Amino acid sequence: MLFKSTHLATAVLGLLPAANARLRTCVPRDLPAIKVFGLQVVDISAKEHRGYEDWMPSPMTGMTGPKRPIDFCNVTITYTHPGQGDRVNVYVWLPLEDWNGRFLGQGGGGWTAGWEMSLAPSVAAGYAVAITDAGHQVIYSLADMNDTRSWTLTSPGNINWVLLQNFASRALDDLPKVAQQVIKGFYGEPAKYSYWSGCSTGGRQGLMSAQRYPKNFDGIVAAAPAINWATFVVAELWAHITMRKVDYHPPSCELEAIRQEAIKACDELDGVKDGVVAAPGLCKFDAKSIVGQTFDCGGVVRKISAKAAEVANAIWEGPVRNGRRVWYGLPHEAPLSALAATECDTQNEKCKSKPFAISISWIRDVVMRGQDIDLSSLNEDEYWSILHRSVNEFASIMSTDDPDLSEFKASGGKMITWHGLADQLIPVNGSSDYYEKVLALDPDARSYYRYFEAPGVTHCAGGPGAAPNAVLDTLVKWVEQGIAPETLDAATVPADKAEAARHRPLCLYPLVAAYVGGELAEAGSFECAESFGVGKRHTEL
């Protein structure tokens, strides 16, 4: 549940609220000198906001309670690593009243280390919250993410290793150290607990913190994490390599028609007909089985082609070289409009590749160091060479795939990861693969790290499935009360206001939510089991 009252939340979670009276005013001279080894502060600014209403609750932050005016002090610390020539900003928003005594670091998405606009919901929930920009301009639109040469390169052919390392890891270590000093100076006492919450890039940042800076956070939410970066970002280009190989670039309507047939074929594998593929591992649908079937494409009746079926199958299987799968593909239910996008004429007859923006920028601006190359024209040999170079040169910096969490465990930290089974950008099997490697090293890992999968949920949010809510509250209970989550509460977001939300338990991996009888919309109609076969069957038309 989401607490509507900060006082109620802190009482239930066993943490007394900090004193409401502020010890300092919201002016830079009243803030302490920031001292962190290896960095030098060059500027501090502060601005008080009262009755701030220019914000909306966001599932991306885990804060979806009712919107209300908020009062806070916005502190911006600008610093550099002497001799490195960088300039990094940390933004800290401090509630003027009803601080819950906790610090929350928040993550970003894509190439952005953090969005200042995402901080308000956390302030409304009582957190002192902070982000970093990692030393480069905040990127707000996906279109702007396909050109990062302004900061990834010092000059054509030369990587800006300082800013790349800031984004990958170093700024994540600086952030809590800077923010905690601001918090102590402002309130007169340190935060009692320190948390991290993020999805996608924010999820990767959370896992990076657990792996490299294990003492910085008491609890971490790392959702749909962009780990295995050096591999999966190049793997996102695989659909376009296949399109070039078969010499056909399907319009989006054709791939969507194939996807819908896959969903129909695999929907009831979990014993429930609800438009969600909850058992993707059991889905063996072959797109070749529907070649010649008609579909509607913008009012024009067309037939599914053999070449489009080959493209769809390749997307689901993932990159394969010499009969060996190099990385995971997308689940059958995942939308294909991002990683298999094409640009077509008005009749959807002549189409060309439109690779994903982050794949373009990573390969062109980092791996190939700014060379102007047409990624849609790569052949397979060139593709494998780029993938090998990406992993060989950048995995240690960006991939965030170290399964050794022993230091995080020793520090007493707790971490929750969840990932949507219909994620259209980051193959969910990358997360389950990582979790299994953690368990292989430490069979007791569930005592401090728990992973959940969300059927029907797309990247970070969206889709027909039930997405987890209040994950941060769940983490707080685990950290502060020792209540480890066996399930995550999840609910659908109805497209129609008249439609009721459906509730599901998300089970601790590898358990699944099996239907055992009752109303399909009720969480109590499901129980966690080793397979779907233990449940009953339910058909809802």
Say yes or no: 388 and 418 in one domain: no
Q: Which residue from 228, 205, 224 is spatially nearest to 434, judged by alpha carbons?
A: 228
Same domain assignment for residues 202 and 267: no
On whether residue 17 sits in a domain, the answer given is no
Which three-class secondary structure state does DSSP give residue 117?
helix
Contact (CB, 8 A) for 95 and 49: no
Question: Residue 293 falls within a domain, yes or no?
Answer: yes
Report whether the peptide linkage leading into residue 510 is cis, meaning its omega lies within 30 degrees of zero. yes
**CA nearest neighbour of 314 among 341, 332, 293, 297:** 332
CA dist., res. 504 & res. 528, Å (int):
11
Distance from C-alpha of 318 to C-alpha of 211, rounded to nearest angstrom: 27
Query: DSSP alpha helices (H): ranges in 297-405?
Result: 306-317, 357-361, 380-398
Which residue carries 């439609």 as its tokens?
499
The confidence score (pLDDT) of residue 538 equals 44
In the structure encoding, which two tokens stand for residue 337, read together? 């409009």
Do 240 and 382 share a domain, yes or no?
Answer: yes
Q: Find the CATH number of the domain harbouring 445.
A: 3.40.50.1820
Residue range of the domain that includes 133: 26-139+177-186
Integer-rounded Cα Rg, in Å, for the chain is: 24
Collapsing DSSP to helix, strand or coil, 104 comes out as strand
Residue 155 lies in a domain: no
Alpha-carbon distance of 170 to 36, in angstroms, equals 12
Long-range Cβ contact pairs of 31-38 (< 8 A, separation 24 or more) = 31/75, 31/182, 31/185, 31/186, 32/181, 32/182, 32/184, 32/185, 34/77, 34/79, 34/178, 34/181, 34/182, 35/181, 36/79, 36/174, 36/177, 36/178, 36/181, 38/81
Q: Which amino acid is at 93?
A: W
pLDDT reported for residue 534: 54
In b/e form, how buried is each residue of 324-340, taking b as 16+ CB within 10 angstroms?
eebbbbbbbbbbbebbb
CA–CA gap between residue 114 and residue 176 (Å, rounded): 13
- State the Cα–Cα distance between residues 199 and 222, nearest whole angstrom: 6
| pLDDT digit string, tens, across residues 424-466 | 999 999 999 999 999 999 999 999 999 999 999 999 999 999 9
Q: Is residue 149 part of a domain?
A: no
Q: Is residue 172 assigned to a domain?
A: no
Chain CA centroid to CA 247, Å = 33
Structure confidence at residue 13 (pLDDT): 39
Burial class (CB in 10 A: 0-12, 13-18, 19+), 533: exposed
Q: Tell me, rounded to whole angstroms, the distance of Cα 166 from its chain centroid.
A: 19
- Report the distance separating Cα 55 and Cα 118, nearest Å: 8
**Cα–Cα distance between 165 and 397 in angstroms, integer?**
7
The H or E element containing residue 199 is strand 193-199
Question: Do 372 and 472 lie in a common domain?
Answer: no
Q: What is the DSSP letter of 16?
A: P
Residue 5 pLDDT: 33
Asked if 119 and 242 sit in the same domain, the reply is no
Report if residue 313 sits inside a domain.
yes
Length of the chain: 541
Of 306, 316, 361, 317, nearest in space to 336 by CA: 316
Single residue among 396, 417, 441 that ends a domain in this structure:
396
* Alpha-carbon separation of residue 504 from 7, 60, 451, 494 (angstroms): 28, 19, 16, 14
Q: What is the pLDDT of residue 168?
A: 98
Residue 352 lies in a domain: yes
Tell me the residue type at 486: E
- Total structural domains within the chain: 4
Q: Which residues pair with 42 in a beta bridge?
A: none
Whether residue 216 sits in one domain with residue 356: no
Q: Are residues 267 and 366 in the same domain?
A: yes
Q: Are residues 482 and 533 in the same domain?
A: no
Give CA–CA dist 412/441, Å, rounded. 18
Show pLDDT as tens, one digit a residue, over the chain (541 residues). Answer: 233 333 333 333 344 444 444 456 899 888 889 999 999 999 999 999 999 998 877 766 667 777 899 999 999 999 999 999 999 999 999 999 999 999 999 999 999 999 888 899 999 999 999 999 999 987 655 556 667 999 999 999 999 999 999 999 999 999 999 999 999 999 999 999 999 999 999 999 999 999 999 999 999 999 999 999 999 999 999 999 999 999 999 999 999 999 999 999 999 999 999 999 999 999 999 999 999 999 999 899 999 999 999 999 999 999 999 999 999 999 999 999 999 999 999 887 899 999 999 999 999 999 999 998 888 889 999 999 999 999 999 999 999 999 999 999 999 999 999 999 999 999 999 999 999 999 999 999 999 999 999 999 999 999 999 999 899 999 999 999 999 999 999 999 887 776 888 999 999 999 999 999 999 999 999 999 999 975 454 444 3
Are 392 and 289 members of one domain? yes
Cα 280 from Cα 288, distance rounded (Å): 18
Boundary residue ending a domain (396, 421, 448): 396
Q: Assess whether 479 and 523 both reside in one domain.
A: no
Partners of residue 44 on adjacent β-strands: 77
Enumerate the active-site residues. Answer: 200, 423, 459
SS3 assignment for 466-526: CEECCHHHHHHHHHHHCCCCCEEEEECCCCCCCCCCCEEEEEECCCEEEECCCCCCCHHHE
